[in-house]
Structure 1
Amino acid sequence: MPRLQYGQTTIEWRFKADATLKRHYVTVERGRPVLLRGPAVGLEEQEALVRQRARWIREKRALVEAPTADEQIVTGSRLRYCGRTYFTEVRHAPKLAHATLHFTASRFVIENPAGRSISSDALAPLLNAFYREKAHEKLLTRVRHWERQSGLQARGARIRHFQSRWASCNAHNVLEFHPRVMELPASVQDYVVVHELCHTVEKSHTRAFWALVARQMPDWRRQHEVLESAAFGDLV
Protein backbone atom coordinates (compact mmCIF):
# COMPACT_ATOMS: atom_id res chain seq x y z
CA MET A 1 0.00 0.00 0.00
CA PRO A 2 1.47 3.41 -0.95
CA ARG A 3 2.52 5.77 1.82
CA LEU A 4 4.18 9.14 2.29
CA GLN A 5 5.86 10.88 5.19
CA TYR A 6 4.51 14.23 6.40
CA GLY A 7 6.74 15.41 9.24
CA GLN A 8 6.43 12.72 11.93
CA THR A 9 3.23 11.36 10.39
CA THR A 10 3.13 8.41 7.99
CA ILE A 11 0.08 8.49 5.72
CA GLU A 12 -1.01 5.31 3.98
CA TRP A 13 -3.72 5.53 1.34
CA ARG A 14 -5.73 3.40 -1.01
CA PHE A 15 -7.11 4.66 -4.29
CA LYS A 16 -10.58 3.91 -5.66
CA ALA A 17 -11.11 5.02 -9.25
CA ASP A 18 -14.58 6.44 -9.85
CA ALA A 19 -15.32 7.75 -13.33
CA THR A 20 -18.57 9.34 -12.15
CA LEU A 21 -16.64 11.87 -10.04
CA LYS A 22 -15.22 15.06 -11.55
CA ARG A 23 -12.83 15.78 -8.68
CA HIS A 24 -10.87 13.82 -6.10
CA TYR A 25 -12.11 13.31 -2.54
CA VAL A 26 -10.26 12.28 0.59
CA THR A 27 -11.88 10.30 3.42
CA VAL A 28 -10.37 9.62 6.85
CA GLU A 29 -11.85 6.81 8.95
CA ARG A 30 -10.86 5.24 12.26
CA GLY A 31 -8.35 2.40 11.93
CA ARG A 32 -8.25 2.44 8.11
CA PRO A 33 -5.92 3.89 5.46
CA VAL A 34 -6.91 7.19 3.89
CA LEU A 35 -9.32 6.66 1.00
CA LEU A 36 -8.70 8.72 -2.16
CA ARG A 37 -11.53 8.56 -4.71
CA GLY A 38 -11.95 10.15 -8.11
CA PRO A 39 -10.93 9.95 -11.77
CA ALA A 40 -8.19 7.42 -12.51
CA VAL A 41 -4.68 8.81 -11.99
CA GLY A 42 -1.24 7.30 -11.60
CA LEU A 43 0.63 6.76 -8.35
CA GLU A 44 2.65 9.98 -8.66
CA GLU A 45 -0.46 12.12 -9.02
CA GLN A 46 -2.17 10.22 -6.20
CA GLU A 47 0.75 11.07 -3.94
CA ALA A 48 0.56 14.73 -4.94
CA LEU A 49 -3.16 14.80 -4.11
CA VAL A 50 -2.62 13.16 -0.72
CA ARG A 51 0.33 15.43 0.08
CA GLN A 52 -1.79 18.47 -0.78
CA ARG A 53 -4.25 17.42 1.95
CA ALA A 54 -1.63 16.00 4.35
CA ARG A 55 -2.11 18.60 7.08
CA TRP A 56 -5.89 18.16 6.98
CA ILE A 57 -5.48 14.35 7.01
CA ARG A 58 -3.18 14.51 10.05
CA GLU A 59 -5.60 16.71 11.98
CA LYS A 60 -8.69 14.67 11.07
CA ARG A 61 -6.98 11.38 11.88
CA ALA A 62 -6.12 12.68 15.34
CA LEU A 63 -9.79 13.50 15.84
CA VAL A 64 -11.26 10.22 14.59
CA GLU A 65 -8.70 8.07 16.39
CA ALA A 66 -9.21 9.85 19.73
CA PRO A 67 -11.02 7.64 22.27
CA THR A 68 -14.55 8.72 23.11
CA ALA A 69 -14.61 10.07 26.64
CA ASP A 70 -18.23 9.13 27.33
CA GLU A 71 -20.40 6.95 25.12
CA GLN A 72 -23.51 7.69 27.22
CA ILE A 73 -25.49 10.89 26.87
CA VAL A 74 -26.96 11.98 30.20
CA THR A 75 -28.49 15.13 31.67
CA GLY A 76 -25.74 17.71 31.55
CA SER A 77 -24.20 16.45 28.32
CA ARG A 78 -23.99 18.97 25.51
CA LEU A 79 -25.00 18.64 21.86
CA ARG A 80 -23.91 20.87 19.00
CA TYR A 81 -26.15 23.06 16.86
CA CYS A 82 -25.32 26.15 14.78
CA GLY A 83 -21.84 26.59 16.21
CA ARG A 84 -22.86 26.28 19.87
CA THR A 85 -23.21 23.44 22.34
CA TYR A 86 -26.47 23.21 24.24
CA PHE A 87 -27.34 21.69 27.61
CA THR A 88 -29.07 18.35 27.19
CA GLU A 89 -31.70 16.87 29.51
CA VAL A 90 -32.42 13.13 29.39
CA ARG A 91 -35.78 12.16 30.86
CA HIS A 92 -36.98 8.64 31.61
CA ALA A 93 -40.25 8.14 29.69
CA PRO A 94 -41.26 4.46 30.16
CA LYS A 95 -44.58 4.87 28.30
CA LEU A 96 -42.88 5.78 25.02
CA ALA A 97 -42.15 3.11 22.44
CA HIS A 98 -39.07 4.91 21.14
CA ALA A 99 -36.73 7.65 22.32
CA THR A 100 -37.45 11.17 21.08
CA LEU A 101 -35.41 14.36 20.82
CA HIS A 102 -36.69 17.95 20.92
CA PHE A 103 -34.96 21.34 20.88
CA THR A 104 -36.50 24.10 22.99
CA ALA A 105 -34.33 27.04 21.77
CA SER A 106 -32.13 26.78 24.87
CA ARG A 107 -31.66 23.05 25.41
CA PHE A 108 -32.11 19.60 23.93
CA VAL A 109 -34.62 17.32 25.64
CA ILE A 110 -34.40 13.57 25.12
CA GLU A 111 -37.21 11.35 26.35
CA ASN A 112 -36.04 7.76 26.59
CA PRO A 113 -38.07 4.69 27.57
CA ALA A 114 -34.86 2.83 28.47
CA GLY A 115 -33.75 5.17 31.26
CA ARG A 116 -31.99 8.42 32.11
CA SER A 117 -29.11 7.88 29.70
CA ILE A 118 -28.86 7.04 26.02
CA SER A 119 -25.92 5.72 24.02
CA SER A 120 -24.34 7.82 21.31
CA ASP A 121 -25.28 5.15 18.77
CA ALA A 122 -28.96 5.25 19.81
CA LEU A 123 -28.94 9.06 19.76
CA ALA A 124 -27.31 9.38 16.32
CA PRO A 125 -30.44 8.79 14.17
CA LEU A 126 -32.46 11.19 16.34
CA LEU A 127 -29.82 13.90 16.02
CA ASN A 128 -29.45 13.31 12.29
CA ALA A 129 -33.21 13.66 11.84
CA PHE A 130 -33.10 16.95 13.78
CA TYR A 131 -30.24 18.29 11.63
CA ARG A 132 -32.04 17.22 8.45
CA GLU A 133 -35.23 19.01 9.49
CA LYS A 134 -33.33 22.19 10.34
CA ALA A 135 -31.31 22.01 7.12
CA HIS A 136 -34.51 21.89 5.07
CA GLU A 137 -35.90 24.77 7.10
CA LYS A 138 -32.86 27.05 7.21
CA LEU A 139 -30.08 25.99 4.85
CA LEU A 140 -32.13 25.82 1.67
CA THR A 141 -33.40 29.33 2.48
CA ARG A 142 -29.78 30.52 2.60
CA VAL A 143 -29.18 29.00 -0.84
CA ARG A 144 -31.98 31.14 -2.27
CA HIS A 145 -30.60 34.20 -0.45
CA TRP A 146 -27.11 33.73 -1.86
CA GLU A 147 -28.44 33.06 -5.35
CA ARG A 148 -30.13 36.48 -5.24
CA GLN A 149 -27.06 38.08 -3.64
CA SER A 150 -24.48 36.62 -6.00
CA GLY A 151 -26.35 36.14 -9.25
CA LEU A 152 -25.12 32.54 -9.31
CA GLN A 153 -27.81 29.96 -9.95
CA ALA A 154 -28.00 26.30 -8.98
CA ARG A 155 -30.40 23.88 -10.65
CA GLY A 156 -31.62 22.77 -7.27
CA ALA A 157 -30.55 22.10 -3.70
CA ARG A 158 -31.16 19.13 -1.44
CA ILE A 159 -30.05 17.52 1.79
CA ARG A 160 -28.09 14.30 1.46
CA HIS A 161 -25.87 12.08 3.61
CA PHE A 162 -22.30 11.76 2.32
CA GLN A 163 -19.64 9.36 3.47
CA SER A 164 -17.34 12.15 4.60
CA ARG A 165 -18.15 15.48 2.96
CA TRP A 166 -19.96 18.60 4.05
CA ALA A 167 -21.38 19.42 0.65
CA SER A 168 -21.08 19.00 -3.10
CA CYS A 169 -22.11 20.54 -6.41
CA ASN A 170 -22.81 17.73 -8.85
CA ALA A 171 -22.32 17.69 -12.62
CA HIS A 172 -25.84 19.05 -13.12
CA ASN A 173 -25.21 22.01 -10.75
CA VAL A 174 -27.47 20.60 -8.06
CA LEU A 175 -26.15 21.52 -4.63
CA GLU A 176 -26.15 18.81 -1.95
CA PHE A 177 -25.57 19.41 1.76
CA HIS A 178 -24.95 16.96 4.57
CA PRO A 179 -27.40 17.48 7.47
CA ARG A 180 -24.43 17.95 9.80
CA VAL A 181 -23.75 21.34 8.18
CA MET A 182 -26.27 22.46 10.82
CA GLU A 183 -23.62 21.85 13.49
CA LEU A 184 -21.60 24.75 12.08
CA PRO A 185 -21.90 28.46 12.92
CA ALA A 186 -24.32 30.35 10.65
CA SER A 187 -21.47 32.29 9.00
CA VAL A 188 -19.72 29.03 8.11
CA GLN A 189 -22.97 27.56 6.80
CA ASP A 190 -23.15 30.58 4.50
CA TYR A 191 -19.57 29.93 3.38
CA VAL A 192 -20.44 26.31 2.51
CA VAL A 193 -23.37 27.58 0.43
CA VAL A 194 -21.25 30.21 -1.37
CA HIS A 195 -18.46 27.69 -1.96
CA GLU A 196 -20.83 25.27 -3.67
CA LEU A 197 -22.59 27.99 -5.65
CA CYS A 198 -19.21 29.05 -7.03
CA HIS A 199 -18.71 25.47 -8.23
CA THR A 200 -21.65 26.01 -10.60
CA VAL A 201 -19.23 28.20 -12.57
CA GLU A 202 -15.79 26.79 -11.70
CA LYS A 203 -15.77 23.05 -11.00
CA SER A 204 -12.20 22.88 -9.71
CA HIS A 205 -10.37 24.82 -7.02
CA THR A 206 -8.57 27.05 -9.49
CA ARG A 207 -7.43 30.62 -8.92
CA ALA A 208 -10.53 31.73 -10.77
CA PHE A 209 -12.68 29.73 -8.37
CA TRP A 210 -11.14 31.29 -5.24
CA ALA A 211 -11.35 34.75 -6.80
CA LEU A 212 -15.06 34.16 -7.36
CA VAL A 213 -15.50 33.04 -3.74
CA ALA A 214 -13.64 36.15 -2.55
CA ARG A 215 -15.91 38.44 -4.59
CA GLN A 216 -18.97 36.99 -2.91
CA MET A 217 -17.50 36.62 0.59
CA PRO A 218 -14.36 38.71 1.26
CA ASP A 219 -13.76 37.08 4.67
CA TRP A 220 -14.01 33.52 3.28
CA ARG A 221 -10.59 32.52 4.65
CA ARG A 222 -11.76 32.98 8.24
CA GLN A 223 -14.82 30.80 7.61
CA HIS A 224 -12.72 28.25 5.73
CA GLU A 225 -10.36 27.91 8.70
CA VAL A 226 -13.28 27.21 11.03
CA LEU A 227 -14.55 24.58 8.62
CA GLU A 228 -11.11 23.01 8.33
CA SER A 229 -10.95 22.58 12.11
CA ALA A 230 -14.44 21.03 12.34
CA ALA A 231 -14.48 17.32 13.17
CA PHE A 232 -16.13 15.84 10.11
CA GLY A 233 -15.35 16.03 6.45
CA ASP A 234 -13.63 17.67 3.56
CA LEU A 235 -15.26 20.43 1.56
CA VAL A 236 -14.54 19.85 -2.11
Structure 2
Amino acid sequence: MPDTEKATLYYQNKTIRYTVRRSARRRTVGITIDAQGVRIAAPRRMPLEQVIALVNTKARWIADKHTEFKSRTGPRKRFVSGEEFLYLGRRVSLQVQSEDRSPHQGRKLSKPRSSIQPELFDFSFLPIKPRPRAAVALKGNVLHVQADASSMQSTKEVREILEGWYRTRAEEVIARRVQHYALQLGWRMPIVLIRNQKKRWGSCNAKGELRFNWRLVMLPLPVLDYVVVHEMAHLKVLNHSPRFWALVEQIMPDYKARHQALHELGMGLYW
Protein backbone atom coordinates (compact mmCIF):
# COMPACT_ATOMS: atom_id res chain seq x y z
CA MET A 1 0.00 0.00 0.00
CA PRO A 2 1.19 3.58 -0.67
CA ASP A 3 2.97 5.52 2.07
CA THR A 4 0.65 8.53 1.63
CA GLU A 5 -3.12 8.56 1.03
CA LYS A 6 -5.96 11.07 1.25
CA ALA A 7 -9.20 10.63 3.17
CA THR A 8 -12.13 12.73 4.35
CA LEU A 9 -13.80 13.07 7.74
CA TYR A 10 -17.50 13.96 7.84
CA TYR A 11 -18.79 15.26 11.17
CA GLN A 12 -22.14 17.04 11.50
CA ASN A 13 -21.98 19.79 8.85
CA LYS A 14 -18.17 19.75 8.56
CA THR A 15 -16.05 18.16 5.83
CA ILE A 16 -12.41 17.81 6.79
CA ARG A 17 -9.84 16.39 4.38
CA TYR A 18 -6.72 14.83 5.83
CA THR A 19 -3.56 13.04 4.78
CA VAL A 20 -2.52 9.60 6.00
CA ARG A 21 1.23 8.97 6.10
CA ARG A 22 2.54 5.52 6.91
CA SER A 23 5.85 4.61 8.45
CA ALA A 24 7.49 1.31 9.29
CA ARG A 25 8.50 2.80 12.64
CA ARG A 26 4.93 3.60 13.72
CA ARG A 27 3.09 1.23 16.04
CA THR A 28 0.06 3.42 16.76
CA VAL A 29 -2.01 6.07 14.99
CA GLY A 30 -1.08 9.69 15.68
CA ILE A 31 -3.10 12.81 14.81
CA THR A 32 -1.57 16.23 14.12
CA ILE A 33 -3.64 19.38 13.56
CA ASP A 34 -1.74 22.57 12.76
CA ALA A 35 -1.22 25.26 10.12
CA GLN A 36 -0.79 22.62 7.44
CA GLY A 37 -4.13 20.96 8.20
CA VAL A 38 -4.91 17.50 9.59
CA ARG A 39 -2.32 14.77 9.23
CA ILE A 40 -2.51 11.16 10.38
CA ALA A 41 0.59 9.05 11.06
CA ALA A 42 -0.09 5.31 10.90
CA PRO A 43 1.78 1.97 10.79
CA ARG A 44 2.72 0.97 7.26
CA ARG A 45 0.73 -2.30 7.27
CA MET A 46 -2.48 -0.83 8.68
CA PRO A 47 -5.27 -0.82 6.05
CA LEU A 48 -6.77 2.56 5.19
CA GLU A 49 -10.21 1.38 6.33
CA GLN A 50 -8.86 0.70 9.81
CA VAL A 51 -7.15 4.12 9.93
CA ILE A 52 -10.39 5.84 8.90
CA ALA A 53 -12.33 3.93 11.55
CA LEU A 54 -9.91 5.06 14.25
CA VAL A 55 -10.01 8.66 13.01
CA ASN A 56 -13.81 8.60 13.09
CA THR A 57 -13.74 7.74 16.80
CA LYS A 58 -11.97 11.10 17.32
CA ALA A 59 -14.28 13.02 14.97
CA ARG A 60 -15.60 15.50 17.50
CA TRP A 61 -12.15 16.34 18.88
CA ILE A 62 -10.67 16.71 15.38
CA ALA A 63 -13.54 18.93 14.23
CA ASP A 64 -13.28 21.15 17.32
CA LYS A 65 -9.49 21.53 16.99
CA HIS A 66 -9.71 22.11 13.25
CA THR A 67 -12.28 24.89 13.80
CA GLU A 68 -10.14 26.38 16.56
CA PHE A 69 -7.05 26.55 14.36
CA LYS A 70 -8.97 28.00 11.42
CA SER A 71 -10.36 30.74 13.66
CA ARG A 72 -6.82 31.79 14.54
CA THR A 73 -5.81 32.47 10.97
CA GLY A 74 -7.92 35.62 10.81
CA PRO A 75 -8.68 37.42 7.54
CA ARG A 76 -6.27 37.45 4.63
CA LYS A 77 -3.57 40.09 4.80
CA ARG A 78 -3.99 43.31 2.85
CA PHE A 79 -0.71 44.83 1.78
CA VAL A 80 -1.71 48.41 2.46
CA SER A 81 -0.78 51.01 5.08
CA GLY A 82 -2.09 50.16 8.52
CA GLU A 83 -2.04 46.37 8.08
CA GLU A 84 -0.26 44.54 10.90
CA PHE A 85 2.47 41.93 10.45
CA LEU A 86 4.69 39.98 12.83
CA TYR A 87 8.45 40.16 13.18
CA LEU A 88 10.20 38.07 15.85
CA GLY A 89 6.93 37.86 17.74
CA ARG A 90 6.09 41.57 17.87
CA ARG A 91 3.45 43.35 15.86
CA VAL A 92 4.59 45.94 13.35
CA SER A 93 2.40 48.24 11.28
CA LEU A 94 2.91 48.49 7.52
CA GLN A 95 3.44 51.96 6.04
CA VAL A 96 3.56 52.05 2.24
CA GLN A 97 5.40 55.05 0.78
CA SER A 98 5.00 56.02 -2.85
CA GLU A 99 8.25 56.05 -4.82
CA ASP A 100 7.11 58.95 -6.96
CA ARG A 101 5.93 61.16 -4.06
CA SER A 102 7.98 59.96 -1.10
CA PRO A 103 10.05 62.71 0.57
CA HIS A 104 12.81 60.13 0.85
CA GLN A 105 13.07 59.61 -2.90
CA GLY A 106 16.66 59.64 -4.02
CA ARG A 107 17.94 58.93 -0.53
CA LYS A 108 18.72 55.60 1.00
CA LEU A 109 16.31 54.26 3.55
CA SER A 110 17.93 53.24 6.78
CA LYS A 111 18.75 49.57 7.14
CA PRO A 112 16.14 47.45 8.92
CA ARG A 113 16.88 47.59 12.61
CA SER A 114 16.79 44.26 14.40
CA SER A 115 15.17 43.85 17.79
CA ILE A 116 17.40 40.89 18.59
CA GLN A 117 19.72 41.06 21.55
CA PRO A 118 23.21 41.75 20.17
CA GLU A 119 25.01 39.52 22.64
CA LEU A 120 23.28 36.49 21.18
CA PHE A 121 24.30 37.19 17.62
CA ASP A 122 27.45 39.26 17.28
CA PHE A 123 29.90 36.64 16.00
CA SER A 124 32.53 38.56 14.07
CA PHE A 125 33.64 35.49 12.13
CA LEU A 126 30.17 34.88 10.66
CA PRO A 127 30.12 36.35 7.13
CA ILE A 128 27.10 38.50 6.39
CA LYS A 129 26.21 39.22 2.78
CA PRO A 130 26.19 42.95 1.96
CA ARG A 131 22.66 44.25 1.64
CA PRO A 132 21.50 46.06 -1.50
CA ARG A 133 19.77 49.40 -1.24
CA ALA A 134 16.73 48.63 0.86
CA ALA A 135 13.11 49.13 -0.17
CA VAL A 136 12.07 48.25 3.40
CA ALA A 137 13.01 49.89 6.69
CA LEU A 138 11.87 48.83 10.15
CA LYS A 139 11.71 51.86 12.45
CA GLY A 140 10.35 51.08 15.88
CA ASN A 141 7.06 49.29 15.30
CA VAL A 142 6.53 50.67 11.81
CA LEU A 143 7.58 48.75 8.70
CA HIS A 144 8.17 51.24 5.88
CA VAL A 145 7.92 49.85 2.35
CA GLN A 146 8.75 51.94 -0.70
CA ALA A 147 6.64 51.00 -3.73
CA ASP A 148 4.95 52.53 -6.75
CA ALA A 149 1.56 53.34 -5.26
CA SER A 150 0.27 54.62 -8.60
CA SER A 151 0.58 51.19 -10.18
CA MET A 152 -2.42 48.88 -10.51
CA GLN A 153 -0.09 46.11 -9.31
CA SER A 154 0.96 48.02 -6.18
CA THR A 155 -0.48 45.45 -3.72
CA LYS A 156 1.33 42.62 -5.48
CA GLU A 157 4.53 44.67 -5.55
CA VAL A 158 4.33 45.44 -1.83
CA ARG A 159 3.79 41.78 -1.07
CA GLU A 160 6.82 40.75 -3.12
CA ILE A 161 9.02 43.43 -1.56
CA LEU A 162 7.87 42.49 1.94
CA GLU A 163 8.43 38.78 1.36
CA GLY A 164 11.93 39.51 0.04
CA TRP A 165 12.72 41.49 3.19
CA TYR A 166 11.45 38.69 5.44
CA ARG A 167 13.54 36.12 3.56
CA THR A 168 16.67 38.27 3.95
CA ARG A 169 16.03 38.69 7.66
CA ALA A 170 15.38 34.94 7.98
CA GLU A 171 18.70 34.17 6.31
CA GLU A 172 20.54 36.30 8.85
CA VAL A 173 18.62 35.45 12.02
CA ILE A 174 18.28 31.70 11.47
CA ALA A 175 21.90 31.26 10.38
CA ARG A 176 23.05 32.99 13.53
CA ARG A 177 20.77 30.90 15.74
CA VAL A 178 22.08 27.72 14.13
CA GLN A 179 25.62 28.93 14.76
CA HIS A 180 24.73 29.80 18.36
CA TYR A 181 23.69 26.20 19.05
CA ALA A 182 26.52 24.71 16.99
CA LEU A 183 29.00 26.61 19.16
CA GLN A 184 27.17 25.62 22.33
CA LEU A 185 27.18 21.94 21.36
CA GLY A 186 30.63 21.87 19.79
CA TRP A 187 29.22 20.80 16.43
CA ARG A 188 30.35 21.81 12.97
CA MET A 189 28.31 24.62 11.42
CA PRO A 190 25.93 22.97 8.92
CA ILE A 191 24.70 24.39 5.62
CA VAL A 192 21.61 26.54 6.21
CA LEU A 193 19.12 27.16 3.41
CA ILE A 194 16.00 29.34 3.52
CA ARG A 195 13.06 28.12 1.47
CA ASN A 196 9.41 28.93 0.78
CA GLN A 197 8.15 25.68 2.27
CA LYS A 198 4.40 25.17 2.16
CA LYS A 199 4.05 22.21 4.52
CA ARG A 200 7.14 22.25 6.72
CA TRP A 201 8.82 24.60 9.14
CA GLY A 202 12.16 22.93 8.58
CA SER A 203 13.90 19.81 7.31
CA CYS A 204 17.25 18.05 7.41
CA ASN A 205 18.62 15.70 4.76
CA ALA A 206 21.26 12.98 4.84
CA LYS A 207 23.87 15.46 3.54
CA GLY A 208 23.52 17.49 6.72
CA GLU A 209 21.78 20.42 5.03
CA LEU A 210 19.20 22.30 7.06
CA ARG A 211 16.26 23.94 5.31
CA PHE A 212 14.00 26.43 7.06
CA ASN A 213 10.75 28.17 6.19
CA TRP A 214 11.33 31.93 5.91
CA ARG A 215 8.10 32.57 7.85
CA LEU A 216 9.83 31.41 11.04
CA VAL A 217 11.31 34.90 11.44
CA MET A 218 7.81 36.12 12.32
CA LEU A 219 7.78 33.95 15.45
CA PRO A 220 9.09 34.88 18.91
CA LEU A 221 12.75 33.92 19.18
CA PRO A 222 12.20 31.05 21.69
CA VAL A 223 9.74 29.41 19.29
CA LEU A 224 12.03 29.92 16.30
CA ASP A 225 14.83 28.38 18.37
CA TYR A 226 12.73 25.25 18.91
CA VAL A 227 12.58 24.63 15.15
CA VAL A 228 16.33 25.27 14.89
CA VAL A 229 17.11 22.76 17.66
CA HIS A 230 14.64 20.23 16.24
CA GLU A 231 16.33 20.25 12.84
CA MET A 232 19.83 20.32 14.31
CA ALA A 233 19.01 17.22 16.37
CA HIS A 234 18.30 15.48 13.05
CA LEU A 235 21.97 15.94 12.22
CA LYS A 236 22.59 13.20 14.79
CA VAL A 237 19.32 11.23 14.58
CA LEU A 238 17.42 11.37 11.29
CA ASN A 239 14.16 9.90 12.65
CA HIS A 240 11.73 10.79 15.44
CA SER A 241 12.65 7.92 17.73
CA PRO A 242 12.85 8.22 21.54
CA ARG A 243 16.60 8.78 21.07
CA PHE A 244 15.85 11.82 18.92
CA TRP A 245 13.45 13.39 21.42
CA ALA A 246 15.88 12.68 24.26
CA LEU A 247 18.52 14.67 22.36
CA VAL A 248 16.10 17.56 21.76
CA GLU A 249 15.23 17.60 25.47
CA GLN A 250 18.89 17.53 26.42
CA ILE A 251 19.52 20.66 24.33
CA MET A 252 16.21 22.36 25.17
CA PRO A 253 14.51 21.02 28.32
CA ASP A 254 11.30 23.05 27.75
CA TYR A 255 10.92 22.01 24.10
CA LYS A 256 7.36 20.71 24.62
CA ALA A 257 6.04 24.14 25.58
CA ARG A 258 7.82 25.72 22.60
CA HIS A 259 6.48 22.99 20.31
CA GLN A 260 2.94 23.75 21.50
CA ALA A 261 3.49 27.47 20.93
CA LEU A 262 4.58 26.72 17.35
CA HIS A 263 1.30 24.90 16.69
CA GLU A 264 -0.72 27.74 18.20
CA LEU A 265 1.08 30.62 16.46
CA GLY A 266 1.87 28.98 13.14
CA MET A 267 -1.62 29.34 11.73
CA GLY A 268 -1.30 33.11 11.39
CA LEU A 269 1.96 33.13 9.45
CA TYR A 270 0.64 32.14 6.02
CA TRP A 271 -0.61 35.09 3.98
Q: Normalised by the size of structure 1, how large is the TM-score?
A: 0.71
1:33-84 deviations in Å (ceiling 9; x for gaps): 96889x9875258657997x958755444445x543x63521x332210010
Q: Does 1:43 align with 2:48?
A: yes
The one-letter code of the counterpart of 1:166 is W
Give me the whole-angstrom Cα distance separating, in 1, the residues matched to 2:87 and 2:182: 24
Instruction: Please state how far the C-alpha of 1:104 moved relative to its aligned partner.
Output: 2.9
3-state SS in 2 of match to 1:144: helix
**C-alpha displacement at 1:171, in angstroms?**
2.7
The aligned counterpart of 1:89 is: 95
Aligned 8 A contact 2:9 2:15 in 1? yes
Map of 1:126 onto structure 2 = 161
Q: Which amino acid in structure 1 is aligned with residue 18 of structure 2? A: W
Take 2:203 and 2:19, find their aligned partners in 1: how far apart are those partners? 22
How far has the Cα of 1:86 moved from its partner? 1.2
Q: Name the structure 2 match of 1:71.
A: 78
Q: Which amino acid aligns with 2:176?
A: T
Structure 2 residue runs of 5 or longer lacking an equivalent are 1-5, 23-31, 106-133
Larger mean CA deviation between 224-233 and 186-195 belongs to 224-233
Q: How many positions carry a matched residue from both structures?
A: 220
Mapping of residues 1-236 of structure 1, within 5 Å? 2-4=7-9, 10-13=15-18, 42-43=47-48, 47=52, 54=62, 58-63=67-72, 67-68=75-76, 71-74=78-81, 76-94=82-100, 100-115=135-150, 121-153=156-188, 155-232=190-267
User: Contact 1:28–1:35 (CA<8 Å) still a contact in 2?
Assistant: no
Q: Deviations over 1:108-131 (max 9, x none)?
A: 112232259986644322222111
Matches of 1:211 and 1:6, distance apart in 2: 37
Greater mean deviation of Cα atoms: 102-111 or 2-11: 2-11
Cα offset for 1:85? 0.8
Residue 88 of structure 1 and its aligned partner are, at CA, apart by 2.5
* Superposed displacement of residue 181, structure 1: 0.9
Match of 2:118 in 1: none
Change (3 A) 1:27 1:187: closer
Structure 1 stretch displaced more, 176-185 or 204-213: 204-213
For the 8 Å contact 1:28–1:57, the answer to whether it is kept is: no
Q: Assess, with a 3 A threshold, how the Cα gap between structure 1 residues 144 and 49 changes in structure 2: closer, same or farther.
A: farther
Partners of 1:219 and 1:166 in 2: how far apart?
A: 19
Question: Secondary structure at 1:2's aligned position in 2?
Answer: strand
Q: Distance in 2 between the 1:215 and 1:16 partners?
A: 28
> Displacement of 1:204 after TM fit?
2.6
How many Å separate the matches in 1 of 2:152 and 2:87? 20
Alpha-carbon distance between aligned partners in 2 of 1:45 and 1:199, rounded to the nearest angstrom: 31
Structure having the higher Rg:
2
Distance 1:184 1:14, change over 3 A: closer
If the length of structure 2 is used for normalisation, what is the TM-score?
A: 0.63
* Partner AA of 2:17 in structure 1: E
